[in-house]
Amino acid sequence: MKKLYSLLISLGLFAGASAQTVAPFKAGDRVAFVGNSITDGGHYHSYIWLYYMTHFPNRRVTFYNVGIGGDAIGQIATRFDDDVLKRNPTVLTLTWGMNDTGYFEWYRKDGQQFIDNRLTGSYKTYEELVDKLKKRTDIRKILILGSPYDFTSKFNTKNLYPGKAEAFSKVIDYQQASAKKNNWGFVDFYHPMDAINKREQLKDTTFSLTPNDRIHPDNDGHLVMAYLFLKTQGLSNSVVADVAINATAKTVTKAVNSKVLNLSANAKSISFSYLANSLPYPIDTIPRAWGNRKKQSEALKIIPFTNDFNREMLTVKNLTTGNYDLLIDGEKMGSFNADAFAGGINLAEITATPQYQQAIQIRELNEERWEIERRLRNYMWMEYDFLKEKGMLYKDNNAAMDSVKKYAATNIFVNGNKDNYSRARYKSLRDAWQKEMDVLINQIYAINKPQTHRIEIIATK
């Protein structure tokens, strides 16, 4: 029975994400990702942008992290004009509900009623926000059905809030219905990620895409989210490149998203000039961000990201039986036999290629940008989640700093943001950070253009 259940989950896992409901971003789009801590401290939007940076090097878009940790829909609505609309987005994604559905409140005797009442208020606030957004016909709206709260993993016994999973599921249903009613696009993280958790937990009861606290995805979870977003945009099977050569006929039989020129061949070697229109996606292999322990690359074990989004195929048919060295720009990339070339080699899985090394530079520049943006988001947390209720929103004066220092002694969140605020309260620093990000983005779009490479396939002795 368990095997059958696992098979059914596997077959239906990405069904909801396979139908295109959200158009791809176009050149010049300014995309605001609005949400709570999963957006604020997460990487999914950065991973999506990295895909656009590498796969569409001439389609420049701009992404904004507009999440704040701990936000429920009421707090998002409060800061909406000043924090979201001031960025003049052409596209806006919105995710909410994790914080609206409570935590320790579930241990109250009236926990269910308490949360039901809270959600009634959340729905009312959300509908007011919907009315505001309906008037903004210049903005394309996308609802993100958020990543799930994992109640079922047995990695520990902490953060088990009875009723939360069911309540959040109902919020997800409400959001999906709202998207359809308003003819807005939506991207479903919830159901596919929940299915992955349940599928993998049949093999390992401690598995979770939110392995630290059941709530926040780790780096692998954020790649799953990026994968689902891109798939919903209909971008799967958009190859980096797909080149096929007939060795005996000395002809190029296929060159998808690429150009092959100056093909020459003899009994022992083939060489040609190769220019792809895209770069491979540079998968990260180290944990990123505070508190995370998993690598982005670990997601490759549970989703077909490489097959769907990172195929740079080189196929050579009719090579004489034997082994061959693959060289790019005179540097050896590996050795393969004739059968391997006939079956196709995915260059995107060879991290030493010059095009992959080029993509790594883009990834690292994007990570630098992400780190700086985090400072600005932590500043906004302090403004809206602490100083606003003290009547000090955007005061940023000595009195505000004194209040931060005072409450840092008893409030771990204020304490965690205290040092950042001590600098970010100065507009000159915030402006400098923004300029740093602009420089990084400009550098990315200056170096992300694919280059022509010389490929050689040489028979070994």
Q: What's the maximum distance between 2 C-alpha atoms anywhere in the chain?
A: 81
Banded pLDDT at 220 (limits 50, 70, 90):
very high
The average pLDDT across 167-171 equals 98
The average pLDDT across 406-427 equals 97
Domains with residue ranges and CATH for the chain: 2-232 (3.40.50.1110), 241-357+449-459 (2.60.40), 360-447 (no CATH)
Torsions phi, psi of 120, nearest 5?
A: -60, -45
Task: Extract the tokens encoding 340.
Answer: 């391997």
DSSP-derived letter for residue 25 is P
Sequence-separated (6 or more) residues with CB below 8 Å from residue 126 = 73, 77, 96, 178
What pLDDT does residue 231 have?
97
Residue of 369, 380, 417 whose CA lies nearest to 68: 380
Percentage of residues in the chain with pLDDT exceeding 70? 96
What pLDDT does residue 461 have?
73
What pLDDT does residue 324 have?
97
The average pLDDT across 81-90 equals 97
Q: Kindly tell me the sign of the dihedral angle through the C-alpha atoms of 81, 85, 87, 92.
A: positive
**Whether the Cβ atoms of residue 125 and residue 77 lie closer than 8 Å to each other:** yes
The average pLDDT across 76-82 equals 98
Q: Could you tell me where the DSSP H helices lie in 135-254? A: 164-181, 190-201, 219-232
The 10 Å Cβ neighbour count of residue 160 is 13
328 pLDDT higher than 70: yes
Task: Extract the tokens encoding 123.
Answer: 């729905």
Q: Kindly tell me the sign of the dihedral angle through the C-alpha atoms of 220, 367, 27, 379.
A: positive
The end-to-end CA distance of the chain, in Å, is 54
321 pLDDT higher than 90: yes
